[in-house]
Amino acid sequence: MITVENLTKSFPGRGGEVRALDGVSLEVPAGTILGVVGTSGAGKSTLARCIALLEQPDSGSIRVDGTDLVSLSGAALRAARRQIGVVPQTDSLLRQRTAAGNIALPLEAAKVPGPQRKQRVAELLELVGLSDKAANFPDQLSGGQRQRVAIARALAASPSVLLADEPTSALDPETTGSVLTVLDRVRSELGVTVLVVTHDMAVVRRICDDIAVLEQGRVVENGKVLDLISAPGSRTASALLPELDQVSQQHSATYDRVADVVLVGFAAIGALLPEAASRHGVELSLLGGGMTRLNDTPVARFRIALNGERADAALKWIGERGAVVRHKPTLVAGTAA
Ligand SMILES: Nc1ncnc2c1ncn2[C@@H]1O[C@H](COP(=O)(O)OP(=O)(O)OP(=O)(O)O)[C@@H](O)[C@H]1O
């Protein structure tokens, strides 16, 4: 579990002080993947660097499994650092060392005996799906494979936390997929808490349980992705759910009721909406939206229109089955928004 409280960090800038982190607080539950997103300069990397103890914050606290990292020094600080694996933003493998040799580096530094080291390197290569590339040098590996070696190296000392800063930014969609699969395994098979800095919402969509949205050094949204998609006005919802905006602008019909519904899990793939219509004897039309998957959970957002006396009862019934139903003003020809 990572708990960040009221973290601030400023840098001297040309036009005065730049407040990179301005009172950041967030929690990353143990064994989850948090996506830290936000526009360029929002403070994402600074946050990751502070948690990785590569940057000293000006104030605030960072606790990993209960230990406050900011107050540590000497041997205690070195021990805490071993709890945090870091996948650097830039390609950081040593060119003259093989994949196995790169992964072994932190184990050599920790003076792990040879046989144990070999065994651990083999396990890590297996975890990242590169057992057959152990003897390859970085130049003989693809970008995605190099990144997976960097992840294995960051995990060598069995940290409880893994930080990855833009781990897929230089990769094409296919190799991105292989790196994300590895991060997912790191969380699910090793129980490691993972913090991924990314500007790519597809990363959040694929693997993140939680999200923190940063803007100008502040957290403007933080929580479980599957909770936030149902929250009104949520940035996470607008970035991850199927679009509704183009819907019904020129829709000429009028309806008794119009509502946006968000369905998570089984409800998204089941026959909930048609069943609501037939049970209540209403006519139900889909005006827009669609289905998607978030971290393997099916999720749908639809704008629906209902005609019939029992339209309200049908919407209530849908809501009682776990859908989030938000009523819209009834559409009138040409005025829908
Ligand atoms: N070492 C530094 N010295 C001076 N200013 C810095 C330093 N590191 C970060 N900053 C400034 O702090 C602010 C936040 O930077 P940071 O790199 O954390 O943002 P980011 O969200 O990771 O951006 P990007 O997506 O572009 O990497 C920016 O204005 C940046 O210029």
Of 238, 263, 282, the one marking the end of a domain is 238
Tell whether 294 is covered by a domain.
yes
pLDDT tens-digit map of 114-125? 999 999 999 999
Average pLDDT over residues 141-149: 94
Pocket test for ligand 1, best of 10, 11, 47 (most atoms within 8 A of CB): 11
| pLDDT averaged over every residue in the chain | 90
- Closest C-alpha among 241, 254, 269, 230 to residue 306: 254
Please identify, among 222, 238, 254, the residue that sits at the C-terminal boundary of a domain.
238
Domain span at residue 247 reads 241-328
CA of 335 from ligand 1 middle (Å) equals 44
Q: What is the pLDDT of residue 172?
A: 85
Query: Domain check: are 32 and 96 in the same one?
Result: yes
Asked if 139 and 271 sit in the same domain, the reply is no
198 lines ligand 1 (CB under 6 A): no
> Under a CB-based contact definition with an 8 Å cutoff, are residues 198 and 168 in contact?
yes
Cβ of 235: how many Cβ atoms within 10 Å?
A: 17
The DSSP call for residue 44 is H
Tokens 């209403």 — which residue?
282
Task: Note whether residue 333 is domain-resident.
Answer: no
Query: Which three-class secondary structure state does DSSP give residue 321?
Result: coil
24 lines ligand 1 (CB under 6 A): no
Residue 119 and residue 246 share a domain? no
Give the C-alpha separation, 6 to 35, whole Å: 19
Instruction: Dihedral sign for Cα 124, 128, 132, 137, please.
Output: negative
What would the pLDDT profile of 151-193 be if each residue is shown by its tens digit? 999 999 999 999 999 999 888 888 899 999 999 999 999 999 9
Q: Please tell me if the CB atom of residue 165 comes closer than 6 angstroms to any atom of ligand 1.
A: no
Closest protein CA for atom 16 of ligand 1? 43
How do strand 33-38 and strand 283-294 relate by DSSP bridges?
unpaired
Tell me the per-residue pLDDT of 10-54, one tens digit each, with 9 for 90 and over: 999 888 899 999 999 999 999 999 999 999 999 999 999 999 988
**Of the residues 238, 268, 286, which one is the last residue of a structural domain?**
238
Has residue 299 got a pLDDT over 80? yes
Helix, strand, coil percentages in the chain from 3-state DSSP, rounded to 5: 35, 30, 35
Q: Please tell me if the CB atom of residue 38 comes closer than 6 angstroms to any atom of ligand 1.
A: yes
Residues 313 and 183 in one domain: no
Of 131, 145, 142, nearest to 179 (Cα)?
145
Tell me the pTM. Answer: 0.89
Residues 280 and 134 in one domain: no
What average pLDDT does this structure show over 195-213?
A: 94
Residues 51 and 21 in one domain: yes
Return the half-sphere exposure (C-beta side, CA atoms, 13 A cut-off) of residue 160. Answer: 15
